[in-house]
């Protein structure tokens, strides 16, 4: 695997691959890679000739500097994992390479829909940072396909909208959430869960599954279902950020006409903010 820290050198390398007619797949990450990230790389390998993975901790999407400071950085371990997986290229720029004029005057890419709710409601500016850095990475790599995990469902929906609105010729592929044996969604933040909390954090995924079963059994009292899930999570000892039953496409509140439903939840442990979601079709 070749590692690049400079945009120009990566572009030169990928230009040769592109001229040779090779299809380029891309997996953007912030590092601290785990099995779910490697599955994204493997997915990209199935439909592309070469795969690029990026590792860049994007300060532009953190509205809490302390959260940015404690984000785990495990570059050598990440490189080892990617090499074993057979990744072709790693792009690992620093802040100066990605934002040469500084973040304060960086041109922003803003998606006006789906960004002020759910994760965006509690993290103002977060998705502006996401769409800005992802658009820059797409311009740098110019992939044919980019692969994302469904765990960050809102992020995926926003990126899809950005790609559509800006006419980017990139196929966005989503991969099912990779989970631990007990159902906990894999995340770089799981390392902040205490040993005491670990057996209980599965309450989030359990409530998502419970909502699906209830709705597909005919319940339509959506607000009550949300309140029941929130109470169950709080009784398990966690603080709820949000728990919402939404339209899968728009992330607006579900209504009587909604067919495709996504339930999204976020909760706080002592040291981590965990998110998860579950999508399903309504049974009539």
Domains of the chain, earliest start first: 2-175 (3.40.50.620), 188-279 (3.30.1300.10)
37 as an active site residue: the answer is yes
pTM, two decimals, is 0.94
The angle formed by the CA atoms of residues 91, 63 and 154, to the nearest 5 degrees, is 70
- Over its length of 284 residues, how does the chain's per-residue pLDDT go in tens digits? 999 999 999 999 999 999 999 999 999 999 999 999 999 999 999 999 999 999 999 999 998 787 888 888 999 999 999 999 999 999 999 999 999 999 999 999 999 999 999 999 988 899 999 999 999 999 999 999 999 999 999 999 999 999 999 999 999 999 999 999 999 999 988 999 999 999 999 999 999 999 999 999 999 999 999 999 999 999 999 999 999 999 999 999 998 889 999 999 999 999 999 999 999 998 76
> From CA 64, how far away is CA 271, in angstroms rounded?
14
Confidence at residue 182, expressed as pLDDT on a 0 to 100 scale: 94
Paired with 28 in beta bridges are 54
Q: What is the pLDDT of residue 256?
A: 83
Which residue carries 């009587």 as its tokens?
256
Q: What is the pLDDT, as a whole number, of residue 141? A: 98
* Active-site hit among 34, 37, 126, 178: 37
Asked if 77 and 53 count as a contact pair (C-beta separation under 8 A), the reply is no
Judge residue 223's burial from the number of C-beta atoms within 10 Å of its C-beta, 0-12 exposed, 13-18 middle, 19 or more buried. Answer: exposed
Q: What pLDDT, on the 0 to 100 scale, is given for residue 164?
A: 97
Contacts of 284 (CB under 8 A, 6+ apart): none
d(CA 6, CA 54): 12
Largest CA distance in the chain: 58
């Amino acid at each position: 695997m070749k590692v690049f820290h400079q945009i120009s050198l990566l572009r030169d390398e990928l230009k040769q691959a592109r001229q040779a007619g090779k299809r380029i797949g891309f997996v953007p990450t912030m590092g601290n890679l785990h099995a779910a990230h490697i599955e994204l790389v493997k997915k990209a390998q199935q439909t592309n000739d070469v795969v690029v993975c990026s590792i860049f901790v994007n300060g532009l999407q953190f509205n809490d500097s302390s959260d940015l400071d404690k984000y785990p950085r495990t570059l050598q371990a990440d490189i080892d994992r990617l090499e074993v997986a057979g990744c072709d290229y790693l792009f690992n720029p620093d802040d100066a390479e990605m934002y040469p004029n500084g973040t304060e005057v960086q041109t922003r890419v803003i998606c006006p829909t789906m960004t002020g709710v759910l994760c965006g409601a509690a993290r103002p500016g977060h998705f502006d940072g996401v769409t800005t850095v992802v658009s820059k990475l797409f311009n740098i790599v110019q992939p044919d396909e980019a692969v994302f995990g469904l765990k960050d469902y809102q992020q995926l929906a926003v990126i899809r909208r950005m790609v559509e609105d800006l006419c980017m010729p990139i196929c966005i592929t989503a991969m099912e959430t990779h989970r631990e044996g007990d159902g906990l969604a894999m995340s770089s933040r799981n390392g902040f869960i205490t040993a005491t909390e670990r057996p209980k954090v599965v309450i989030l995924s359990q409530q998502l599954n419970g909502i699906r079963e209830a709705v597909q059994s005919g319940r339509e009292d959506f607000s009550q279902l949300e309140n029941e899930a929130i109470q169950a999570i709080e009784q398990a000892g966690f603080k709820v950020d949000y728990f919402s039953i939404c339209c899968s496409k728009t992330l607006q509140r579900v209504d009587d006409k909604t067919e495709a439903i996504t339930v999204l939840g976020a909760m706080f442990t002592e040291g981590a903010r965990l998110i998860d979601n579950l999508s399903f079709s309504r049974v009539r």
